[in-house]
Amino acid sequence: MNKYMKRIAFLREEAGDGGDGGGDGAAAAAAAPEPTTPFGAYYGADGVNREALESMSDDAKPIRSLIEKYPSEAELYKGIQHLRATASSKGLERLPADATDEEKHRHSTMVKEYFAVPDAVEGYGITKPEHIPDEVWNGEETNKLLGILHEHNASPELVQALAAHQVEGFESEIANAPELEKQRIDQVNAELQESFGNELPQVSQEAMKGLAVLGVELPESGNLADLKVSYTDIVKAGQRMTELISEDHMSREIGRDKSGMTAGSYKDQAMAIKSDPANSFNADFNSEDPNRQKRAQAEYRRLMELSETLERK
């Protein structure tokens, strides 16, 4: 018998479950004082004495969750008696494959009592630490995992240990993020240097201009390695490239016949950005988001400048 079971047995004897059974039971119960055990120190007039619980030695903490489960010393005794009675009627053994629903329910009840499983996942007390960013902490997946652990009667100690391990992993990722980003940038710069050599500064400048025409947001540093491009940016850049190819063909036609109507078509395209919902830039041009407006307004000015240039020829 380990020391915690000895302590529980001691509680049973002190609570009146043991003894020689002699005399008038009712009279003895009325005359007997309220039983007091070492666990009484962990309760006060208002319930659990949190300060006393915090003073528990490490080897005594496995029973802490049992104490916290009951609001008073008397309720603790009843809980221990119930746990002992349940465990005595059928030991906490592995269920057979053909166990009945009643046996499964009884077994689950025993396990919940034994491991002090809370009534709901919120009872585990797992929340996102303040120092962990929202984009790192996946609340939805965390709740799913807690649900699985609760369904399988995981003890609070196990869940807390798993949560602490997860937080340590997040902290490690956050701490290593700057170094990993530096390594990525160094790798990109090395690859660009190998590809373009001494021409890299000029190539980078030209590339930045081209990316700006395609509507890609450029990094303030001017370094291609700092470029952050999303799939949305890639799709929009592809759309813009298609438009430019078409416009380039029109420009070559203009160069040959100097048609004033083509200058007008540029102006029509510019005006469509402002007023035609079917135009790919219209939504961005009329958006309240400055970042979206920026690209559409730049395209509008470019078309108007082309129109004005051709009109002056």
pLDDT digits (tens, 9 = 90+) for 4-41: 444 444 444 544 444 444 444 444 444 433 545 667 77
pTM over 0.75: no
Task: Indicate whether 85 belongs to any domain.
Answer: yes
Question: How far apart are alpha carbons 294 and 64 in whole angstroms?
Answer: 60
Q: What values do phi and psi take at 283, rounded to 5?
A: -65, -40
Task: Indicate whether 31 belongs to any domain.
Answer: yes
Question: How far apart are alpha carbons 183 and 221 in whole angstroms?
Answer: 17
Task: Indicate whether 21 belongs to any domain.
Answer: yes
- Within this chain, do residues 196 and 253 fall inside the same structural domain, yes or no? no
Res. 162: pLDDT tops 70: yes
Would you state the pLDDT for residue 73?
Answer: 83
- Within this chain, do residues 159 and 49 fall inside the same structural domain, yes or no? no
Structural domain of 172: 119-208
The chain-wide mean pLDDT, for the chain, equals 76
Among the candidates 83, 116, 149, a domain finishes at 116
Would you state the pLDDT for residue 251?
Answer: 55
Task: Indicate whether 277 belongs to any domain.
Answer: yes
Task: Indicate whether 181 belongs to any domain.
Answer: yes
Among the candidates 89, 116, 143, a domain finishes at 116
pLDDT digits (tens, 9 = 90+) for 221-262: 777 777 777 777 778 777 777 777 776 555 555 443 344 446
Res. 152: pLDDT tops 60: yes
Among the candidates 95, 116, 137, a domain finishes at 116
Task: Indicate whether 218 belongs to any domain.
Answer: no
- Within this chain, do residues 102 and 166 fall inside the same structural domain, yes or no? no
**Alpha carbon of residue 112 to chain centroid:** 28
Question: How far apart are alpha carbons 118 and 122 in whole angstroms?
Answer: 8
What is the full DSSP assignment across 2-56?
-HHHHHHHHHHHHTTSSS---S-HHHHHHHSPPP--GGGGGEETTEE-HHHHHT-
pLDDT digits (tens, 9 = 90+) for 81-98: 777 666 555 556 777 788
141-170 mean pLDDT? 91
What confidence category does residue 150 fall into, taking pLDDT thresholds of 50, 70 and 90? very high
- Within this chain, do residues 108 and 134 fall inside the same structural domain, yes or no? no
Residue that wins the pLDDT comparison between 37 and 174: 174
- Within this chain, do residues 140 and 54 fall inside the same structural domain, yes or no? no
Q: Considering only 24-33, 138-147, 209-218, which range has the smallest mean pLDDT?
A: 24-33
Task: Indicate whether 172 belongs to any domain.
Answer: yes
Task: Indicate whether 33 belongs to any domain.
Answer: yes
pLDDT digits (tens, 9 = 90+) for 40-50: 778 888 888 88
Could you give the number of structural domains in the chain? 3
Res. 148: pLDDT tops 90: yes
% of the chain beyond a pLDDT of 90? 7
- Within this chain, do residues 108 and 23 fall inside the same structural domain, yes or no? yes
% of the chain beyond a pLDDT of 70? 77
